[in-house]
Amino acid sequence: MQDEWTEKYRPKSLSEIVGNEDAVRSMRRWADSWTRGTPRLKALVLRGDPGTGKTSASLALANDMGWDFIEMNASDHRNAAAIQRVAGAGALTQTLTLNGDYLSSTQGKRKLVIIDEADNLFGNQDRGGAKAIVDTIRDSGQPIILIVNDYYELTRKASAIKTLTEKVAFRRLESRSIVHVLESIARKEKVRVDAEVLARIAENCGGDMRAAVNDLQMMVEGKDDIIMSDSDAMGKRNQLKELDDSLRALFGAKTLKGARDATLDIDKTPDELEKWIEENIPLEYRDPGDMAEAFDALARSDIYLGWTRRSQNYGLWAYAKDMMTGGVALSRKHGVRPDVREYRFPSHFMMLSRAKGPRAARDSISRKLEGHLHMSRRAVNSTVLPLLASVTRRDSDLLVSLSVKCGLDEDDIGFLLGLDSDSRQVGEIVSKIHERLGDEDDNESPGRHRAKPGREKRSLKDF
């Protein structure tokens, strides 16, 4: 199994970050301010194009400062509950190390919270996620780094970020800086690479270090000596090239090389590209025999992708790409190619998107019930939730009691009732929950939660 070089050679210290010297100095200055206590600006926003070193610099900073870190991707955790659970917990003043050792901020110990793709908070899936990030920054006793490609989009969702954070810009890297890194990697891998090849990779990557390292690894695969002719198959990387144009070139290719080169500029994983091709084969092929052969090639590609996932041997990607590009393109043998004006978005992705909300709500309820029922999350999903949903739809008092004891929120309640979380019925249940909690808190002193005598409050783990 061959490691991905982007991870294998990721900088371990800020001193190893090439280019962006001003950004590195700003990050060091901000980190040093935490050694003197909690600074006024507790969060740092790293903005810039993909592949410019924002994530690597964040991890390197944590390593230099001796901080533990928690890393989350905002595009995968878009709702408030997820962000508060991951980032909010990590931002507590007193923390535990990854090994379970207690750390106190009074001893200078810190945990860096890294929120990647913080600008990817879009649409209905963002259930208070942007506000949760702002609240996390305000309440934090730990350093926070937000990593964004589009700073405007982030501040459009949460304008308070402008005044709560310090901004650091990362610029696209110059070719000579990229060549220097590629030369170092080639030496460590004991591979001889012509200087002209390294220069070509650096020019084609458009300032994206990650893309350059990936291109070098793909070219070196199985070789010890790389000359200029080995780079001929590397298509000119054009960051603005439209996906439709690439697919059109792929389906119209007459050779394996032409079909493969048509997808070199697509910023998609092989799994994603396969779904785009699968969705649009019926648009491109009219002859049933040609269509069947194209889907057969795609099925063979899927086998290689499965082997890749199981073995983590990413060298098999090359075989999958050959089958899904060249194998599909060369399946056309009959008739005139139709004029496809626009390619369809993969229905597979749309179904996953529609299922994401209900699936997240189901998993949320299972996490809250598994300790109470002493059952695995899978068992709760398969045996308890269907019955619980049926019962609670007929007994609102039971649903209120369950919510109070287990901490169910609007999304959880909406899932059980089969309704939107902002519907009137869900709102009524939430109001009853607040009334019940208010009754329980009547005898508690202000600012401190204390259970009534004989009515000790319990958490889920106590059941």
Q: In terms of DSSP bridges, do strands 102-103 and 95-96 run parallel, antiparallel, or are they unpaired?
A: antiparallel
Task: Rounding to the nearest 10 degrees, give the CA dihedral for residues 422, 426, 428, 433.
Answer: -110
Under the banding of pLDDT at 50, 70 and 90, the label for residue 2 is: low
pLDDT tens for 236-293 read 444 434 677 888 889 999 998 888 888 876 767 788 888 889 989 998 998 999 999 9
| 162 and 186 within one domain | no
| 127 and 13 within one domain | yes
Question: Of 345, 360, 390, which residue is a domain's last?
Answer: 345
Any idea what DSSP says for residue 14?
Answer: G
Q: Percent of the chain at pLDDT above 70? A: 77
pTM of the model: 0.49
Mean pLDDT of 437-450: 51
Under the banding of pLDDT at 50, 70 and 90, the label for residue 425 is: confident
Please indicate, yes or no, if residue 317 is contained in any of the structural domains. yes
Answer whether residue 360 shows pLDDT above 80.
no
Please indicate, yes or no, if residue 337 is contained in any of the structural domains. yes
Mean pLDDT of 94-121: 61
Query: Picking from 47-51, 290-294, 400-404, 434-438, which range would have the lowest pLDDT averaged per residue?
Result: 434-438
**What value, to the nearest 5°, has the Cα angle with vertex 193 and ends 190 and 194?**
150
Mean pLDDT of 66-93: 60
Residue partners of 167: CB distance under 8 A and separation at least 6:
44, 45, 47, 151
Mean pLDDT of 282-307: 91
Query: Picking from 71-85, 195-209, 425-439, which range would have the lowest pLDDT averaged per residue?
Result: 71-85
pLDDT tens for 14-44 read 999 988 899 999 999 999 999 888 888 989 9
Question: Of 345, 366, 387, which residue is a domain's last?
Answer: 345
Any idea what DSSP says for residue 444?
Answer: S
pLDDT, residue 242, reads 61
Q: Are 11 and 24 in contact (CB under 8 A)?
A: no
| 217 and 159 within one domain | no
Please indicate, yes or no, if residue 289 is contained in any of the structural domains. yes
| 427 and 285 within one domain | no
Query: Picking from 28-42, 126-140, 439-453, which range would have the lowest pLDDT averaged per residue?
Result: 439-453
pLDDT tens for 310-326 read 887 777 888 888 999 99
pLDDT, residue 37, reads 84
Please indicate, yes or no, if residue 61 is contained in any of the structural domains. yes
Please indicate, yes or no, if residue 237 is contained in any of the structural domains. no
Answer whether residue 55 shows pLDDT above 70.
yes
| 109 and 179 within one domain | no
pLDDT tens for 228-241 read 766 655 544 444 34
pLDDT, residue 172, reads 86
pLDDT, residue 460, reads 35
Task: Rounding to the nearest 10 degrees, give the CA dihedral for residues 29, 33, 39, 45.
Answer: 30
| 414 and 370 within one domain | yes
Average pLDDT score over the chain: 78
| 161 and 37 within one domain | yes
Which alpha helices (H) appear in 285-338, and where do they start and end? 288-311, 317-322, 328-329
**156: CATH:** 3.40.50.300
Residue partners of 101: CB distance under 8 A and separation at least 6:
none
Mean pLDDT of 183-188: 91
Please indicate, yes or no, if residue 413 is contained in any of the structural domains. yes
Query: For residue 424, what are the domain limits?
Result: 349-462
| 355 and 298 within one domain | no
| 205 and 275 within one domain | no
pLDDT, residue 129, reads 64
Q: Are 300 and 323 in contact (CB under 8 A)?
A: yes
pLDDT, residue 108, reads 47
pLDDT, residue 368, reads 87
Please indicate, yes or no, if residue 238 is contained in any of the structural domains. no
Q: Are 221 and 238 in contact (CB under 8 A)?
A: no
Mean pLDDT of 338-342: 76
Mean pLDDT of 329-347: 82
Answer whether residue 333 shows pLDDT above 70.
yes
Any idea what DSSP says for residue 72?
Answer: E
Q: Are 68 and 112 in contact (CB under 8 A)?
A: yes
Mean pLDDT of 96-113: 56
**209: CATH:** 1.10.8.60
Please indicate, yes or no, if residue 236 is contained in any of the structural domains. no
- The count of domains in the chain is 4
Question: Of 126, 149, 169, which residue is a domain's last?
Answer: 169
**Amino acid found at 125:** Q
| 393 and 362 within one domain | yes
Answer whether residue 392 shows pLDDT above 80.
yes
Query: Picking from 110-124, 180-194, 308-322, 432-446, which range would have the lowest pLDDT averaged per residue?
Result: 432-446
| 256 and 159 within one domain | no
Under the banding of pLDDT at 50, 70 and 90, the label for residue 300 is: very high
Mean pLDDT of 77-83: 51
| 367 and 294 within one domain | no
Answer whether residue 215 shows pLDDT above 50.
yes
Q: Higher confidence at residue 388 or residue 104?
A: 388
Under the banding of pLDDT at 50, 70 and 90, the label for residue 85 is: low
